[in-house]
Structure 1
Amino acid sequence: MKRFGRFVGIALVLVAAALAARNCFSHDLVVRLADLREVSFEQMMGDLRRVAVIYVGEVHDNPDHHVLQLRIIRELHRAGIPLAIGMEMFAAESQQDLDRWVAGKTDRAAFQRIYRSSWNLPWSLYGDILLFARDKRIPLIGLNVPRDVSQKVARQGFASLTEDERRELPPNITCDVDESYMAMIRRSYSSHGASANTFRNFCEAQMLWNKSMAYHLLEYIRKNPGRTVVVITGGGHAIRGGMPVQVDRERPGLTSRVVLPDPVIHDGRITAEDADYLWLSH
Structure 2
Amino acid sequence: MKHIITTLLLTLYAVAAFSQTPLKAYQIFDKEGKEVTFEEMAESLSNYDVVFFGELHNNPIAHWLQFELTKSLATQKNNAIVLGAEMFEKDNQLVLDEYLNGLIKEAVLIKDGKAWDNYKTDYAPLVDFAKENNIPFIATNVPRRYASLVSKKGLPELETLSKEAKKKYIAPLPIEVPYDNPSYKEMEQMMAGHGMTGKAKQFVEAQAIKDATMGYSIVEALKKKNKGKLFLHYNGDFHSKNHEGTVWYVNHYNKNLKSGVIAFGQQTDLSKLSDENKGENEFTIICNSNMTKTF
Q: Which residue of 1 aligns with 2:6?
A: none
**C-alpha distance 155-63 of structure 1, shift in aligned 2 (>3 A):** farther
**C-alpha distance 67-187 of structure 1, shift in aligned 2 (>3 A):** farther
Do the aligned residues in 1 keep the contact of 2:265 with 2:277 (CA within 8 Å)? no
**C-alpha distance 72-172 of structure 1, shift in aligned 2 (>3 A):** same
Post-superposition offset of 1:119: 3.7
Corresponding residue SS for 2:222: helix
Post-superposition offset of 1:270: 4.0
**C-alpha distance 221-122 of structure 1, shift in aligned 2 (>3 A):** closer
Do the aligned residues in 1 keep the contact of 2:188 with 2:203 (CA within 8 Å)? no
Structure 2 counterpart of 1:150, one-letter code: A
CA distance in 1, matches of 2:155, 2:191: 17
The alignment status of 1:86 with 2:84, answered yes or no, reads yes
Corresponding residue SS for 1:173: coil
CA distance in 1, matches of 2:55, 2:189: 16
Unaligned runs of 5+ in 1: 1-19
Post-superposition offset of 1:94: 1.9
Post-superposition offset of 1:100: 1.8
How big is each residue's C-alpha offset from its partner over 1:35-70, in whole Å with a ceiling of 9 and x where there is no partner?
221111111111011111100011222232211211
Q: Which residue of 2 aligns with 1:137?
A: 134
Post-superposition offset of 1:229: 0.9
Q: Which residue of 1 aligns with 2:105?
A: 107
Corresponding residue SS for 2:111: helix
Structure 1 counterpart of 2:201, one-letter code: R
Structure 2 counterpart of 1:82, one-letter code: A
Corresponding residue SS for 1:111: helix
Structure 2 counterpart of 1:47, one-letter code: S
Note the 1:34-183 alignment, pairs <5 A. Answer: 35-79=32-76, 80-115=78-113, 117-119=114-116, 121-161=118-158, 162-164=160-162, 165-168=165-168, 169=170, 170-173=172-175, 175-183=177-185
Specify which of 16, 21, 29 is matched with residue 31 of structure 1. Answer: 29
Post-superposition offset of 1:135: 2.1
CA distance in 2, matches of 1:85, 1:184: 29
Point out which structure has higher relative CO (alpha carbons under 8 A, 6+ apart): 1
Q: Which residue of 1 aligns with 2:260?
A: 257
Structure 2 counterpart of 1:279, one-letter code: I
The alignment status of 1:269 with 2:281, answered yes or no, reads no
C-alpha RMSD of matched pairs (Å): 2.7
How big is each residue's C-alpha offset from its partner over 1:157-180, in whole Å with a ceiling of 9 and x where there is no partner?
112231415444321235433242
Do the aligned residues in 2 keep the contact of 1:32 with 1:39 (CA within 8 Å)? yes
Do the aligned residues in 1 keep the contact of 2:52 with 2:262 (CA within 8 Å)? yes
Corresponding residue SS for 2:55: coil
Q: Which residue of 2 aligns with 1:217?
A: 218
**C-alpha distance 173-120 of structure 1, shift in aligned 2 (>3 A):** farther
Do the aligned residues in 2 keep the contact of 1:103 with 1:134 (CA within 8 Å)? yes
Corresponding residue SS for 1:112: helix
How high is the TM-score relative to the length of structure 1?
Answer: 0.81
Unaligned runs of 5+ in 2: 1-17, 268-274, 289-295
The alignment status of 1:280 with 2:286, answered yes or no, reads yes
CA distance in 1, matches of 2:30, 2:134: 31
How high is the TM-score relative to the length of structure 2?
Answer: 0.78
Structure 2 counterpart of 1:159, one-letter code: P
Task: Mark the structure with the bigger radius of gyration.
Answer: 2
**C-alpha distance 194-124 of structure 1, shift in aligned 2 (>3 A):** farther
Post-superposition offset of 1:150: 1.0
Structure 2 counterpart of 1:213, one-letter code: M
